[in-house]
Amino acid sequence: MTIFQLMLMGFLIVCAVSVSFSKNLLNSILIYMSYSLVMSILWVCLESPDLAITEAAVGAGVTSILFFATLKKIHAIQIEKEVKDKEEAEREEQSHE
């Protein structure tokens, strides 16, 4: 096992742990996406390019797009925007005072 593969493995573990620790749902989906991408590089290193192509297309592409669509459907993205807007409005009021 080369150093490159070990580095990728370490990155996988960091990704997997940080998915569960991130408080923003959008961030955890992005981390999950990068996990799939690193996994596809690892598949190439393990000499299975068929799996690598599938992992990149399905894991990093379609699955995370479906996750985004679901977040939009349950208004998880929208609510965060509203919260930010409110915070900004409050700040503006404070600065006016």
Partner 1 sequence: MSKLKPQKEYEKTKAFHFFRWLSGSKDPYLGEVEMKPQKEWKVEESTIQERMREKQMLRDKVYDVEHNDKLIFFHKVYAIAAIFFCIALAGLLLYTVSYLPETGAADRPVNNEVPARYIENGLQETGAVNIVTGMILDYRAFDTFGESNVLFVATVTVLILLHTNKKKSKDGKADEEPENDRIYEPKNDAILQAGAKVLVPIIILFGIYVILNGHLSPGGGFSGGAIIGAGLILYLNAFGFKKTEKLFTEKTYKVISFAALTTYCLAKSYSFYTGANHMESHIPLGIPGHILSSGLILVLNICVGMVVACTMYTFYVMFRKGDF
Binding positions for partner 1, rule: CB under 8 A = 46, 48-50, 52-54, 57-58, 61-62, 65-66, 69-70, 72-73
Query: Please, what is the minimum distance in Å from the beta carbon of residue 96 to partner 1?
Result: 31
22 sits in the region (left: phi over 0; alpha: psi -120 to 50; else beta) called beta
| C-beta of 50 vs 93, nearer to partner 1 | 50
Cβ distance to partner 1 smaller for residue 79 or 90: 79
The CA distances from residue 33 to 1, 43, 85, 89, in Å, are 24, 15, 28, 33
For residue 53, the minimal CB distance to partner 1 (Å) is 4
Q: For helices 25-45 and 76-96, give the axis angle rounded to 10 degrees.
A: 130
